Amino acid sequence: MFYIVQAMPYKRHILVTGGAGFIGSHVVRLFTNKYDDYQIINLDKLTYAGNLANLKDIENKPNYTFVKADICDFETICRLMEEFQVDGIIHLAAESHVDRSIKDPFTFARTNVMGTLSLLQAAKLYWESKKEGYEGKRFYHISTDEVYGALELTHPEGVKSAHSTHPVYGDDFFHESTKYAPHSPYSASKASSDHFVRAFHDTYGMPTLVTNCSNNYGPYQFPEKLIPLFINNIRHRKPLPVYGKGENVRDWLYVEDHARAIDLIFHQGRIADTYNIGGFNEWKNIDLIKVIIKTVDRLLGHPEGYSSDLITYVTDRKGHDMRYAIDSSKLHEELGWEPSLQFEEGIEKTVRWYLDNQEWMDNVTSGDYQKYYEEMYLGR
């Protein structure tokens, strides 16, 4: 473990869990750069998806501290709460890959359920020990739209939407009041953690917030996920595995827009409330893949359609939900948030980033990125 307690007084002391991961690194970067008077403590176990190279640009900032620890280690979390005088937690640490959860559900239950419970109890004990109690404190839990289950694909060809220039594929959307109906071990573990967070508010009065977001995309995403995986596979002329017929629909959100929403909700969201964060940006997997192929081929100087032959249809995933689509109207109406990028602009920026940062991608796919912690923090 490596951490330094800063002597400089700070207005707030924010613990971000999973801050070396994809979404977490964007949140840590945003908060560290935007709030000089906040101490940002990045807690990450550095499993396969955690990469401190994601944060090279801020690692020497005086208000940033990294701690290598497991959220399931209750005694360590309790000690860190006291050491850093934590008054806000933004909880992103989670196992998040559905395929991995199907193969190893125990790991997902441990990290996503017991890890969240460990954080909640540590925060409860520390905050209740202070004279001011819960005043000025916040426990913000980031969840997923997958806890809601699946929506019907009632418009297979897509219809016009009032919210977006892109078509929608059904009449229903996930709302904050949508009943939970998780279908995978991953989504079941996240649903359980959501319930624990709300229970700590209802039972103990802890000031909690929960958000459920749609699929994120953008720089620094671990290449087991669709967009970075396919960009890298196109670059290396490897197959592009498509589940079933590629007709499953997902709502896509640019990761920096998600980080902005987290910032806004952490500071202005109503305690004990839930907010859905989505892009109003539905895409069939096969249509998304075709856009990625077209964009990568163009930026690599290949003729249009050059990489289309890489599409390989494979056996569908077990329990594969057909459609996710979030209605984030509440967040817009109450707090004024909306996505800053249209998908075409966002995917262009994303593809360019991965092609311009091939060393990062090569280090991740080879496993060399895991040496960064030892070199940077352990001096090896």
User: What is the C-alpha to C-alpha distance for residues 252 and 292, in angstroms, rounded to an integer?
Assistant: 13
What value, to the nearest 5°, has the Cα angle with vertex 13 and ends 11 and 18? 145
Neighbouring CB atoms inside 10 A of 332's CB total 14
Neighbouring CB atoms inside 10 A of 177's CB total 8
Whose CA is closest to 111, among 145, 69, 139?
69
Tokens representing 209 are: 């917030």
Contact 116, 197 (CB under 8 A): yes
Q: Is 273 in the active site? A: no
From 44, 145, 194, 327, the catalytic residue: 145
Q: Torsions phi, psi of 137, nearest 5?
A: -100, 155
Specify the pairing of strand 249-254 against strand 282-284.
antiparallel
From 38, 134, 186, 373, the catalytic residue: 186
How far from 29 is each of 20, 35, 61, 114, 192, CA to CA, in Å? 10, 10, 10, 27, 29
Question: What are the residues facing 41 on neighbouring strands?
Answer: 15, 65
Q: Is 126 in the active site? A: no
Q: Is 169 in the active site? A: no
Q: Torsions phi, psi of 212, nearest 5?
A: -120, 120
From 44, 146, 194, 327, the catalytic residue: 146
From the number of C-beta atoms within 10 Å of its C-beta (0-12, 13-18, 19+), residue 241 rates as middle
Annotated catalytic residues are 145-146, 186
